[in-house]
Amino acid sequence: MPSNVPTFTDLLAGAKRSAVHLEMRDTYYSNPRFESWRQGHCVDWNDRASWWRPFHQEIADAVARGVTVRRARVVSEPVTEYIRWEHYVTHANVTAGEQVRWLPRRLASDLLLPGNDFWVFDDTSVEIHHFSGDGDSIEDEILSDPKLIELCASGFERIWERAIPHEQYEIH
């Protein structure tokens, strides 16, 4: 991104009230932690230094400032191996202070949803994520169009209302 475009870190650090994130893909790019899990490696949740990342600290700092951070995931069932792993590592997100919910895709059929994953910060800006078909991140786009922000924020709220809290969602 050009230097005058805020980063995710900047946007989250500037949030005063809320940051909401919608994820709708069943597979994202592969990464070493996912590959390690696929080979049987389990996270030692008692060894926080081994799994706590700068992202988790940024979330924890935002929550400590009074920002409500929520993440909703729309998933196909039975879930993909990648979503099974995401469910497992969501423990870190929850520990950082995120509220996370899961919505089986079959329960979203009557919802009009935005076409991409996104973050909305304080209902003033939206970071849209663009991915390739195989889940590689192509680019992120920061926009401040009020109509787009309203579309994304209201879509998120409709999903959030019927989604299942992380601690109650069972992988199928």
Nearest to 74 by CA among 17, 124, 115, 38: 115
Q: What is the pLDDT of residue 51?
A: 96
Tokens 């039975």 map to which residue?
78
For residue 90, what are its two tokens? 């969501």
Q: What is the pLDDT of residue 53?
A: 96
Q: What is the pLDDT of residue 1?
A: 47
Q: What is the pLDDT of residue 172?
A: 82
Nearest to 13 by CA among 69, 88, 90: 69
72 and 101 in contact (C-beta within 8 Å)? yes
Q: How far apart are CA 166 and CA 49, in angstroms?
A: 23
Q: How far apart are CA 146 and CA 134, in angstroms?
A: 31
Q: What is the pLDDT of residue 154?
A: 96
Q: How far apart are CA 48 and CA 5, in angstroms?
A: 32
For residue 7, give the DSSP letter: P
Q: What is the pLDDT of residue 13?
A: 97
For residue 172, give the DSSP letter: -
User: Domain ranges in the chain?
Assistant: 14-168
From first to last of its 172 residues, what are the pLDDT tens digits of the chain?
Answer: 455 789 999 999 999 999 999 999 999 987 899 999 999 999 999 999 999 999 999 999 999 999 999 999 999 999 999 999 999 999 999 999 999 999 999 999 999 888 999 999 999 999 999 998 888 899 999 999 999 999 999 999 999 999 999 999 999 8
Which fold is adopted by the domain 14-168? Endonuclease; Chain A (3.30.870)
